[in-house]
Amino acid sequence: HDAYDVALQQIIGPEEWNYTKLGDVEVLARRQLSPSDAATSFAVFGGLKLPTGTKNVTNGDGARAERTLQPGTGTTDLIVGVAARRAVGLRDALIGQASVTSALNKNEDFRPGTRTEISAGWSHAYSQSLGAVLQLNLRHRQHDSGDQAEPDNSGFTTLALSPGVTFATGSASTVYAYLQLPVYQKVNGIQLVPRNALALGWTTDF
Protein backbone atom coordinates (compact mmCIF):
# COMPACT_ATOMS: atom_id res chain seq x y z
CA HIS A 1 0.00 0.00 0.00
CA ASP A 2 2.81 2.44 0.89
CA ALA A 3 4.72 1.56 -2.27
CA TYR A 4 1.57 2.14 -4.32
CA ASP A 5 1.06 5.59 -2.75
CA VAL A 6 4.67 6.58 -3.49
CA ALA A 7 4.40 5.39 -7.09
CA LEU A 8 1.09 7.24 -7.51
CA GLN A 9 2.60 10.49 -6.18
CA GLN A 10 5.50 10.11 -8.61
CA ILE A 11 3.03 9.82 -11.49
CA ILE A 12 0.61 12.62 -10.59
CA GLY A 13 3.07 14.90 -8.76
CA PRO A 14 2.58 16.69 -5.41
CA GLU A 15 -0.88 17.83 -4.38
CA GLU A 16 -1.34 21.59 -3.89
CA TRP A 17 -4.08 23.72 -2.35
CA ASN A 18 -4.23 27.46 -2.98
CA TYR A 19 -7.22 29.48 -1.81
CA THR A 20 -8.18 32.75 -0.11
CA LYS A 21 -11.35 32.40 1.93
CA LEU A 22 -12.91 33.92 5.02
CA GLY A 23 -12.27 31.86 8.15
CA ASP A 24 -14.35 31.57 11.29
CA VAL A 25 -15.06 34.92 12.96
CA GLU A 26 -14.75 35.37 16.74
CA VAL A 27 -17.03 37.77 18.62
CA LEU A 28 -15.83 38.56 22.15
CA ALA A 29 -17.00 40.72 25.05
CA ARG A 30 -14.68 41.83 27.86
CA ARG A 31 -15.55 42.94 31.40
CA GLN A 32 -13.02 44.99 33.35
CA LEU A 33 -12.98 43.97 37.02
CA SER A 34 -10.63 46.73 38.23
CA PRO A 35 -10.43 50.49 37.66
CA SER A 36 -8.58 51.25 34.43
CA ASP A 37 -6.05 53.42 36.31
CA ALA A 38 -5.24 50.73 38.93
CA ALA A 39 -1.65 49.54 39.09
CA THR A 40 -2.87 45.95 38.75
CA SER A 41 -6.06 45.24 36.86
CA PHE A 42 -7.98 42.11 35.92
CA ALA A 43 -10.61 41.32 33.33
CA VAL A 44 -12.70 38.40 32.11
CA PHE A 45 -13.82 37.86 28.55
CA GLY A 46 -15.87 35.43 26.55
CA GLY A 47 -17.82 34.92 23.39
CA LEU A 48 -18.31 32.68 20.39
CA LYS A 49 -16.38 31.48 17.38
CA LEU A 50 -18.99 31.50 14.64
CA PRO A 51 -19.19 29.04 11.69
CA THR A 52 -18.58 31.75 9.07
CA GLY A 53 -15.67 30.02 7.30
CA THR A 54 -16.24 27.79 4.31
CA LYS A 55 -15.70 24.06 4.68
CA ASN A 56 -16.16 23.11 1.03
CA VAL A 57 -12.87 24.19 -0.58
CA THR A 58 -11.91 21.91 -3.51
CA ASN A 59 -8.89 21.66 -5.79
CA GLY A 60 -8.78 21.82 -9.58
CA ASP A 61 -9.92 18.21 -9.82
CA GLY A 62 -12.97 18.86 -7.65
CA ALA A 63 -11.57 16.94 -4.67
CA ARG A 64 -12.63 18.38 -1.32
CA ALA A 65 -9.83 19.27 1.09
CA GLU A 66 -9.60 17.45 4.41
CA ARG A 67 -11.51 19.12 7.23
CA THR A 68 -8.30 20.23 8.93
CA LEU A 69 -7.33 22.17 5.77
CA GLN A 70 -10.66 23.97 5.46
CA PRO A 71 -10.88 27.67 6.49
CA GLY A 72 -13.87 26.90 8.73
CA THR A 73 -14.81 24.11 11.12
CA GLY A 74 -18.57 24.42 10.69
CA THR A 75 -19.01 24.50 14.47
CA THR A 76 -19.95 27.15 17.00
CA ASP A 77 -17.33 27.31 19.76
CA LEU A 78 -17.50 28.82 23.23
CA ILE A 79 -14.56 31.02 24.29
CA VAL A 80 -13.84 31.98 27.92
CA GLY A 81 -10.76 33.64 29.36
CA VAL A 82 -9.10 35.89 31.91
CA ALA A 83 -6.60 38.74 31.49
CA ALA A 84 -4.32 40.77 33.76
CA ARG A 85 -2.21 43.90 33.48
CA ARG A 86 0.48 45.26 35.85
CA ALA A 87 1.71 48.82 35.34
CA VAL A 88 5.47 49.35 35.44
CA GLY A 89 6.15 53.06 35.53
CA LEU A 90 4.10 55.55 33.53
CA ARG A 91 4.47 54.04 30.06
CA ASP A 92 5.14 50.32 30.48
CA ALA A 93 3.10 47.34 31.63
CA LEU A 94 3.31 43.58 31.95
CA ILE A 95 0.34 41.84 30.35
CA GLY A 96 -1.02 38.30 30.24
CA GLN A 97 -4.12 36.32 29.44
CA ALA A 98 -5.39 32.75 29.16
CA SER A 99 -8.37 31.34 27.27
CA VAL A 100 -10.08 28.08 26.36
CA THR A 101 -12.06 27.49 23.16
CA SER A 102 -14.32 24.44 22.94
CA ALA A 103 -16.82 23.40 20.27
CA LEU A 104 -20.47 23.31 21.35
CA ASN A 105 -21.53 20.97 18.55
CA LYS A 106 -20.39 18.73 15.70
CA ASN A 107 -20.73 19.47 11.99
CA GLU A 108 -20.88 16.62 9.48
CA ASP A 109 -19.41 14.24 12.08
CA PHE A 110 -16.50 16.59 12.77
CA ARG A 111 -15.61 18.28 16.06
CA PRO A 112 -12.42 20.36 16.38
CA GLY A 113 -10.19 19.74 19.38
CA THR A 114 -10.41 22.04 22.38
CA ARG A 115 -7.85 24.87 22.16
CA THR A 116 -6.01 26.46 25.10
CA GLU A 117 -4.04 29.70 24.67
CA ILE A 118 -1.74 31.46 27.13
CA SER A 119 -0.03 34.79 26.38
CA ALA A 120 2.41 36.89 28.37
CA GLY A 121 4.31 40.00 27.39
CA TRP A 122 5.15 43.67 27.71
CA SER A 123 3.56 46.83 26.35
CA HIS A 124 4.98 50.34 25.97
CA ALA A 125 3.10 53.56 25.23
CA TYR A 126 4.96 55.98 22.98
CA SER A 127 2.08 58.45 23.15
CA GLN A 128 -1.61 58.51 24.01
CA SER A 129 -2.33 56.99 20.60
CA LEU A 130 0.65 54.81 19.66
CA GLY A 131 1.93 51.76 21.52
CA ALA A 132 4.15 48.72 21.02
CA VAL A 133 3.62 45.19 22.32
CA LEU A 134 5.86 42.13 22.54
CA GLN A 135 4.26 38.80 23.51
CA LEU A 136 4.94 35.08 23.80
CA ASN A 137 1.91 33.06 22.71
CA LEU A 138 1.55 29.42 23.74
CA ARG A 139 -1.22 27.48 21.98
CA HIS A 140 -2.28 23.87 22.49
CA ARG A 141 -5.03 22.07 20.58
CA GLN A 142 -6.31 18.60 21.35
CA HIS A 143 -7.06 15.95 18.72
CA ASP A 144 -10.12 16.44 16.51
CA SER A 145 -12.90 13.87 16.83
CA GLY A 146 -15.73 12.43 14.74
CA ASP A 147 -16.05 10.20 11.67
CA GLN A 148 -14.81 12.99 9.37
CA ALA A 149 -11.83 13.85 11.60
CA GLU A 150 -8.26 12.57 11.37
CA PRO A 151 -7.22 12.31 15.03
CA ASP A 152 -3.70 11.10 14.20
CA ASN A 153 -3.13 14.18 11.99
CA SER A 154 -4.59 16.78 14.35
CA GLY A 155 -3.60 18.44 17.58
CA PHE A 156 -0.54 20.58 18.18
CA THR A 157 1.49 22.69 20.58
CA THR A 158 3.09 25.91 19.34
CA LEU A 159 4.99 28.83 20.84
CA ALA A 160 5.25 32.11 18.93
CA LEU A 161 7.00 35.44 19.48
CA SER A 162 4.60 38.24 18.55
CA PRO A 163 5.76 41.84 18.16
CA GLY A 164 2.95 44.28 17.46
CA VAL A 165 1.67 47.83 17.41
CA THR A 166 -1.54 49.42 18.71
CA PHE A 167 -3.13 52.67 17.60
CA ALA A 168 -6.00 54.44 19.35
CA THR A 169 -8.59 55.64 16.85
CA GLY A 170 -10.67 57.47 19.44
CA SER A 171 -11.31 57.66 23.15
CA ALA A 172 -12.71 54.11 23.20
CA SER A 173 -11.43 52.34 20.07
CA THR A 174 -8.09 50.73 19.20
CA VAL A 175 -6.75 48.92 16.14
CA TYR A 176 -3.83 46.52 16.43
CA ALA A 177 -1.51 44.40 14.31
CA TYR A 178 0.72 41.51 15.38
CA LEU A 179 3.33 39.53 13.47
CA GLN A 180 3.46 35.99 14.89
CA LEU A 181 6.84 34.28 14.45
CA PRO A 182 6.93 30.57 15.43
CA VAL A 183 9.62 29.69 17.95
CA TYR A 184 8.52 26.09 18.62
CA GLN A 185 6.06 23.84 16.76
CA LYS A 186 5.06 20.28 17.61
CA VAL A 187 2.27 18.73 15.53
CA ASN A 188 0.78 15.26 15.46
CA GLY A 189 1.13 13.43 12.15
CA ILE A 190 1.13 15.44 8.92
CA GLN A 191 -0.24 18.98 9.12
CA LEU A 192 0.18 22.40 7.54
CA VAL A 193 2.10 24.83 9.77
CA PRO A 194 2.66 28.56 9.09
CA ARG A 195 6.09 30.09 8.63
CA ASN A 196 4.59 33.25 10.15
CA ALA A 197 1.19 34.88 10.55
CA LEU A 198 -0.24 38.40 10.62
CA ALA A 199 -3.12 39.19 13.01
CA LEU A 200 -5.19 42.37 12.59
CA GLY A 201 -7.98 43.47 14.90
CA TRP A 202 -10.14 46.22 16.33
CA THR A 203 -11.51 46.73 19.83
CA THR A 204 -13.98 49.22 21.22
CA ASP A 205 -15.36 50.02 24.69
CA PHE A 206 -19.06 50.38 25.50
Q: How far apart are the first and last CA of the chain?
A: 60
Read off the pTM: 0.85
Cα→Cα distances 103→77, 79, 184, Å: 4, 9, 26
Using the predicted structure, report yes or no on whether residue 177 has a pLDDT greater than 90: yes
Summarize pLDDT for 36-87 with one digit per residue, the tens: 678 999 999 999 999 999 998 887 778 888 888 888 999 999 999 999 999 9
Contacts of 46 (CB under 8 A, 6+ apart): 28, 29, 78, 79, 80, 81
* Segment 129-136 mean pLDDT: 97
Mean residue pLDDT of the chain comes to 89
